[in-house]
Amino acid sequence: MKETIVFVHGMCHGAWCWEQQFIPYFKKLGYHCIAFNLPGHDTEGSARHISYPLSDYVQSLRNEVEKLDEPPIIIGHSMGGMIVQHFLKTGLCKKVVLMSSVPPTVVLAASLRVIFRYPGVIPYLFRRNLLGAFKKHPHLMFNKAKITARYVHRMCAESFSAYVGLLIPISYTSSIPILVVGGSKDGLITVREFASTASYYKAKLTIIEGGSHDLMLDEDFEQSAQAIEQWI
């Protein structure tokens, strides 16, 4: 058995997003894989209002890591990437993969881009309904209609308090080896921002040509999985 990989999902997602393709891929390679639901994300498709600070999500990751006999490799997607960055302030792991991750300089630029390009999201933001905003513009996460049809109904409500936590920048660096992976067609985070994250952490940068925000759910997800496995 190789090392343990802990997968941290992003906004409006759940453990299911890893269980579709990434976990079978890495299990076949001999890795012990753990995916868990952040607080309030247990029920797929739930629109029930939740309110958790980002710190609760970080603690949830810490709880999973503390169950293990040795430090794992951690892969964090989108908001999950920021959760991992906060975890690194006090937590231990072997390596980190920040995939489609919120940059350490926070999510403000991405949020403003979405608002200016798609002003239809503004009423949803006033109602603190992030799920509604993503369902109105699913191309922000998915790059093909059939992928959207397959997964968008599985997304769940997100805590607006956690989103606000993404607006607080990271003010430290880490000595843990880090890989930054992003898609060239990501609807939320730009290639320039991925490069900035890699520069900040002195990390390796891998850009997946044509990749969406949800790289682990893309049809050609193996491009991302292979890049991660080779780096690990």
E strand spans, the chain: 4-8, 32-35, 73-77, 95-99, 178-183, 204-208
Q: What helix, strand, coil percent values describe the chain, rounded to 5?
A: 45, 15, 45
CATH of the domain at 225: 3.40.50.1820
| Domain count within the chain | 1
pLDDT band for position 107 (cuts 50, 70, 90): confident
pLDDT of residue 4: 98
Q: Mean of the pLDDT values across residues 28-35?
A: 97
Model pTM score:
0.96
pLDDT band for position 2 (cuts 50, 70, 90): confident
- What is the C-alpha to C-alpha distance for residues 132 and 146, in angstroms, rounded to an integer? 19
Q: Nearest 5°: CA angle at 208, between 203 and 214? A: 95
Answer yes or no: is pLDDT of 203 > 90. Answer: yes
Residue 76 dihedral angles phi and psi, to the nearest 5°: -115, 130
Six-digit token pair at 231?
Answer: 């780096």
65 C-beta neighbours (distance < 10 Å), count = 17
152-175 CB burial, b ≥16 within 10 A, e <16: bebbbbbbbebbebbeeebeeebe
pLDDT of residue 1: 60
pLDDT in tens, 111-124: 999 999 999 999 99
Kindly list the distances between the CA atom of residue 184 and the CA atoms of 145, 168, 208, in Å, as whole numbers in the listed order: 18, 25, 6
Burial label for 70, CB within 10 Å (0-12, 13-18, 19+), is: exposed
pLDDT of residue 174: 85
pLDDT of residue 173: 83
CB 8 within 8 A of CB 76: yes
Range(s) of the domain holding residue 71: 4-231
Looking at residue 229, its amino acid is E
pLDDT of residue 110: 87
Answer yes or no: is pLDDT of 69 > 90. Answer: yes
